[in-house]
Structure 1
């Protein structure tokens, strides 16, 4: 009895002393001077300075960026500041050990970023005095912390906070809510759970983003903030991590073939609205889509595989997909390899009644990726990567509208039709296959140099080969009449081959200092070929090869584009709550172009070669004012440009076109409130667009050339936000109003373009609502249900003109639902897209004769994807 009493008193005394020591350790006041940097680095600094072991699972803090600290405080206060809003708590286990663990709220399975490490992998990282504890001790400490978190979670009734996202939109790792610009980040895991795999599906999650489809994955035109996809050169930039992909010149027709990647190896998609000319350069004057991929992790082994099956109403065979990824540390904490692959087969849902082909728009998207991460030194990180993406579509999703009629809206005559052949039926003489092969290789080296400088070298080489065949019977099918033959059929083939080399070298100062700066140089070299050919067939599909009917049209437009640029920005933190940033970019490009055109339509002319060069300076200035840690007001003025260049030598065309440029004014508010459970971001913008590069159609040959047609503006307001009223329930919303109008035409511009009309592909109103609820099913399982609704207003398909024909896409509203069950290691999801099987016909183009433009045979349109019901699963280990 006496011994038991002594043991009890001794235990109580030792516990008391430990608590007192822990309290003393927590209350010691120290000077912390920490920049904004990866959270792991800040924890390491606090641990070293306060003589603490800080224990945590590496996945718990992966990708997080800590705020700057420059003041005297206790270690406990410093940790509280660093972990604020992360869903992570810290606890002193003894006088020298602190354990980090998810809060009860952040344990919601819908918010878990990764599964806990499995046996054999380093379970917990320790920072500070002991570097790394023995695995057994670490796991024991972690388990104790998790037990406490579960016990506290059972008592906690308060709602969970929203997950914070770190982005690299400004080429620095920053919290999304700290970026003084309009940026949306869409998580790759969310896209997979919803069964989304095309860029057109992603648009509902980013206000101001509009995607006009071309009939299959890989055929899409993207618009941001009303900067319409007119002209062949892209107005949107595309990046994979630190390097660009896609053409900057005009003759690779980049505006029609947006980068469309599968989401399985995607960490997040960053959507940057407004011109990005100072950091990203040519072709990003309307905004930027940045695919940020998952990198290899040298600290832990992981693997994942999954699959999907889906069925479309009005469709044929079942669509299915498979995917897998593995991460293998080759040298612990230094070298790792990540490999992934995917293969998705699309089911068809449109019929070609002319050919008797049911569900003809089947297709496949497949590919793979390798990523190698090497950290030979603590200050050097090397990321090597390769992506192989293949898209092959058997036919466009095309519906023929006839019973044509016209109607007048705002004094403009518009053409419309009805799907009399069937709601999902077209009548083309040829299937319209499409394929695109992308090979992309990159190497990024990051050196944490002395004096808190970061040097980054980013290199890439890519090749994109595109083939597209279109039925042009309506355009050229009457050509045989010229030789006293019956009308026939015609097809038109375009073959593109783009090779692109890029190199960027930049150096950046540390974040969180009084003055922050970034400077760099950029180089790109592009070579592209553009082969075009139109053929004519009789009604037995025998090609007519004898002159003068053959060839109808043949063309070759090889070109090169080379650009050198220097850029830089400086941020001055005037006070703790107010800063100002200025940036500038100077770019010089040189282009070479050769035109070889011939055939019945264009005539046979000798080859024409031309060169062009230009120098463009873009700039930006922005400022932000922090009302508090959770609210910020910012203002930004920025310019952007799209390169001009040589023009095709056709009747009425000028020899070359100039760059079109714009200046954007933006005012925005970013706020988080209700203890981190609600988020609301609002921005207003006014963009002045000058010397727009517009494709002008020459009706004599049904061909087009470029002209600097005129000026336009785009003005509007965007908002997005989310709210977690209770733990497990997340509500999301976004909306955009965009008024984008052509205001003035330059002298002698042909084509009869109309001013005062909305630019093509830009809905005036759009928005979406989403809701997801997750709850536990016993100790090991959780369930999730969700729904979403999105609205897209009507939009013009082409730039409206007096010559016509003009078409307009109707407004539509779609609903989606989803449900799932997860154990943390495996997840099963059920999804239904377009749950009401809504009908709408988009991207409408008139089927017009090239010989007699007054003859219009119908309208070819792309239908909304019908209701799709699918089941997917993913397993991680």
Structure 2
């Protein structure tokens, strides 16, 4: 790559300006680049900021050298910040939204650079991929997992496909677990906090011989609710999660590494019900003062309380064929089950109640070859996944129970490669490509039963069938999508401290079928239903500069990008009149391919060690995401009326940390005081602006006081989150014409305090 002197000068000036502002004014934005653990960081002296090693391109590289938009968090940084789960990372990530989905405790809604997927139903692929090591999690249920037993978390923004097994169109979040050491290692983490919080994580590993190591983790996370269910007396927004992981590692020779692992978790928290934003249309029920309180009366599904269970097993084989050639095999099987009582109306009556059951299972296999030569590096692989997503639920509303069952099979395979060539000492070129085949089959059944006691499939065998609206089998609903997606990037080491890069990437997400489709009461024809919705496509151009200043005391990363986004999949629900009496009495899924959009953005991350004791870090991002073509119902052009959901135009954060030496309990150590402030601009919950549900801009203030023993065997921390006790919406439902009118919101956590103890025996 040989950019013009003007382009280089402008980027360098921008980078240096950001560093100067950070150092002079002390207002650097919260930088998500990790202050990494010993396993992943090296610093040339105590005044430097640690250099983070990541595997974003399937080989170890320092974060400042890799020409990719990636942010990394080490286990040490996560511990010192008191971050509990993956949603806690979102406020420090540029152009990223991570939150618990509406009406759930553990289903993840994720968006990056305007691309994502809010609906967790079968049939909809995630826009942002979640990986546990190299294993892609096909469904969002259970993805809001507590963070434990990780070495680091890497977050890649933009389309992924030439480096990863499963193609993801928006980005990827990757949990990297640590390998076991050669000595017995036992670690305990205990936490107590506000709202009755009591957490415990016990991790242990030991060698059985020179070639075999075993280990495991047991974890429990428990907390009372932020509010109360006034109908049942139970806590609302509480937590009750158990988890476990077992691993065995085998090293028959210095060239061969094998890991067999299994994990499981169970979420027994109460149903998380929403807060009504409007007075009841029929009952005139008032709006409650506490946004975490509810009057919802639906608490079971098929006699089963709310519960999410998930488990998986995997086998990793790494064989060093030659010093510069590594073969890797990743085999995995996972499944999860969710009993989800969803009370849309949040009132103590059967007005709009939806007991739902989700079941997902997947098998995946990936083979990789990674070459790391002196002037040529790359990865090539093949990937296969066989997944099934199943859901069934009743809609109990206005004297009827509408039963919906969706059963979606996905079989996909792909071949991918990404190669980097050093054209000179300072210039390198990367080219990659992926060929993907996605096959989907679906069966969808939709029936209306008289009465609100439910359907036979959901526990009422005496139900009387009124009408069958949809009955399509996998012989009716099937499609195959094929796509080649290339990637090309060039990087230039402008100096020993600055790396410029430019990349162009195409992304792809296969089409599918809405499991709520209704052939009666909507204008959907049978032919249209059989076609399903089309694949999404995106092409992204990115230009970036990664810089170091003052002998590696200051780092800045800047990226600007432009994306052309086509055939955007917009799942939604509309109220319908099923019996022709002129009143809406149910809802149906209507998924459209909106058309086209253009997305432009800027991302800045910076960190600086101003003195040996004082450091600052921060982030700022800006995004301009607009639909350029959006055809709605009846072929109406509604482009000017639509917005991007879960994509605030601006987001920023700032963090300051001060360390000083202090002995405690007769042991030498270091005390760290840190404080951060995060800002998020106005966020729309849906593509149509909804003033009641949309969240205006807000700020969150966190602070931590952490003492770490000099030998890193003990850490004691006091963490305060949302210290200003801000109320902010993260999700919601909008069905204002149905029954009592269902406009309900779900909120982020209130002010909390947590005292943590980490001890390594």
Whether TM exceeds 0.5 here: the answer is yes
Correspondence for 1:838 among 696, 709, 726 = 726
How far does the alpha carbon of each residue in 1:414-466 deviate from its partner, in whole angstroms, 9 at most, with x for none?
xxx99553354333233587432121211111111137311111111111212
2:117 alignment counterpart: 229
RMSD over equivalenced CA pairs, Å: 2.7
Match of 2:356 in 1: 494
What is the distance in 2 between the residues matched to 1:782 and 1:326? 26
- The match for 2:32 is none
- What is the SS of the residue equivalent to 2:87? helix
Which residue does the alignment assign to 1:24?
none
* Structure 2 residue ranges without an equivalent (≥5): 1-35, 451-465, 577-585
Whole-angstrom CA distance in 2 between matches of 1:664 and 1:204:
24
Gaps of 5+ in 1: 1-58, 65-85, 89-102, 106-159, 248-253, 313-317, 406-416, 478-486, 538-548
1:481-630 matches, cutoff 5 A: 488-511=350-373, 513-535=374-396, 549=399, 552-600=401-449, 603-605=467-469, 607-609=471-473, 610-630=477-497
Query: How far did residue 339 of structure 1 move?
Result: 1.1
Aligned 8 A contact 1:474 1:847 in 2: no
> In 2 relative to 1, CA 423–360 (structure 1 residues): closer, same or farther, beyond 3 Å?
closer
**Using the alignment, how far apart are the partners of 1:61 and 1:212 within structure 2?**
30
CA drift of 1:473 comes to 4.3
Q: Establish whether residue 369 from structure 1 lines up as the match of residue 245 from structure 2.
A: yes
Counterparts in 2 of 1:773 and 1:216: CA distance versus 1, 3 Å: farther
Distance 2:37 2:629 in 1: 55
Please give the alpha-carbon distance, in whole angstroms, between the structure 1 residues aligned to 2:630 and 2:442. 27
Structure 2 counterparts to residues 210-289 of structure 1, below 5 A: 210-213=97-100, 214-229=102-117, 232-247=124-139, 254=140, 257=141, 259-280=143-164, 282=166, 284-289=168-173
Of stretches 785-794 and 771-780 in structure 1, the one that deviates more from structure 2 is 771-780
**Structure 1 CA distance, aligned partners of 2:557 and 2:280?**
44
- 2:176 match: 292
Structure number having the greater helix percentage: 1
For residues 490 and 207 of structure 1, the distance between their equivalents in structure 2, rounded to whole angstroms, comes to 37
Instruction: Report deviation, 1:207.
Output: 1.2
Aligned to 2:750: 866
- Change over 3 Å in CA distance of 1:235–1:488 after alignment to 2: closer
CA gap of 1:534–1:845, structure 2 versus 1, over 3 A, is: closer
Secondary structure, counterpart of 2:384 in structure 1: strand
* Greater Cα shift, 640-649 or 515-524: 640-649
The answer on whether the counterparts of 2:299 and 2:306 sit within 8 Å (CA) in structure 1 is: no
Shift of the alpha carbon at 1:356? Answer: 5.8
Corresponding residue of 1:87? 43
Q: CA deviation at 1:387?
A: 1.4
Q: Hey, what's the Cα distance between the residues in 2 that align with 1:399 and 1:593?
A: 34
Which residue number corresponds to residue 650 of structure 2?
Answer: 765
Q: Which residue of 2 aligns with 1:206?
A: 93
Retained in 1: the 8 A contact 2:383–2:413?
Answer: yes
CA distance in 1, matches of 2:691, 2:674: 42
Offset at residue 726 of structure 1 (A): 1.1
Counterpart contact for 1:198–1:217, Cα < 8 Å = no
Cα separation, 1, equivalents of 2:693 and 2:291: 19
Q: Contact 1:666–1:685 (CA<8 Å) still a contact in 2?
A: yes
Give a deviation string over 1:676-722, Cα, whole Å, max 9, x none. 11110010111111011112434314111322221112211011111
CA distance in 2, matches of 1:805, 1:593: 36
Shift of 1:569: 1.7
Conservation of the 8 A alpha-carbon contact between 1:310 and 1:320: yes
**How far is 1:182 from its partner?**
0.5
2:297 corresponding residue in structure 1: 429
Partner residue in 2 for 1:128: none
Query: TM-score, normalized by length of structure 1?
Result: 0.73
Cα distance, 1:360 vs. partner?
2.7
Verify the 8 A CA contact 1:388 1:438 in the aligned structure 2. yes
Q: What SS does the aligned partner of 1:331 have?
A: coil
Q: Counterpart of 2:327?
A: 455
1:753–1:800 Cα contact (<8 Å) kept: no
2:338 pairs with one of 455, 459, 466: 466
Does structure 1 conserve the Cα–Cα contact (< 8 Å) formed by 2:562 and 2:600? Answer: yes
1:310 matched to 2:172: no
Q: Which residue of 1 aligns with 2:315?
A: 443
Counterpart CA distance in 2 for 1:424 and 1:577 is 56
Structure 1 CA distance for aligned equivalents of residues 264 and 636 of structure 2: 41
Q: Does the aligned pair in 2 maintain the 1:741–1:755 contact within 8 Å?
A: no
User: Which residue of 828, 832, 835 corresponds with 2:716?
Assistant: 828
| Residues 142-221 of structure 1 aligned to structure 2 (within 5 Å) | 160-213=47-100, 214-221=102-109
**Native 8 Å contact 1:553 1:600 kept in 2:** yes
Q: Does 1:652 align with 2:523?
A: yes
CA–CA separation in structure 1 for the residues paired with 2:729 and 2:37 = 46
On the 8 A contact 1:336/1:373 being kept in 2, the answer is yes
Closer, same or farther: CA 179–572 of 1 in aligned 2, 3 Å: same
Q: What residue in structure 2 maps to residue 633 of structure 1? A: 500
C-alpha distance 680-228 of structure 1, shift in aligned 2 (>3 A): same
> Which range moved further: 674-683 or 697-706?
697-706
Normalised by the length of structure 2, the TM-score is 0.83
Name the CA shift for 1:345/1:685 in 2 (closer, same or farther; >3 Å).
same
Shift of 1:667: 0.6
Deviation at 1:781, TM superposition (A): 2.3
Q: Do 2:296 and 2:346's aligned partners in 1 also have CA atoms closer than 8 Å?
A: no
Mapping of residues 773-792 of structure 1, within 5 Å: 773-778=658-663, 780-792=668-680
Instruction: Decide whether the 8 Å contact of 2:227 with 2:290 is kept in 1.
Output: no
Q: How does 1:381-392 map to 2 (within 5 A)?
A: 381-392=257-268
Q: Structure 2 vs 1, CA of residues 517 and 219 (structure 1 numbering), >3 Å: closer, same or farther?
A: closer
CA distance in structure 1 between the aligned counterparts of 2:601 and 2:286, rounded to whole angstroms: 33
Kept after mapping to 1: 8 A contact 2:356/2:391 = yes
Q: 1:659, 1:691 within 8 Å by CA — same for their partners in 2?
A: yes
Q: CA deviation at 1:805?
A: 8.4
Once the 2 structures are TM-superposed, how far is the Cα of residue 675 of structure 1 from its aligned partner?
Answer: 1.0
Looking at structure 2, the residues matched to 274 and 418 of structure 1 have their Cα atoms a distance apart, in angstroms, of 44
Residue-by-residue CA offset, 1:552-588 (whole Å, 9 max, x unaligned): 1112111211111111122110001100101000011
- Give the stretch that moved more between structures: 663-672 or 724-733: 724-733
State which of 221, 226, 231 in structure 2 corresponds to 1:349. 226
Aligned-partner Cα distance in 2 for 1:608–1:238: 31
Task: Give the direction of change, closer, same or farther, for the CA distance of 1:596–1:327 in structure 2 (3 Å limit).
Answer: same
1:213-233 deviations in whole A, cap 9, x for unaligned? 335531331110111425632
CA gap 1:748/1:798 in 2 versus in 1, 3 angstroms:
closer
Cα deviation code 1:274-307 (max 9, x no counterpart): 000222365510000101111222x222111121
- The aligned residue for residue 69 of structure 1 is none
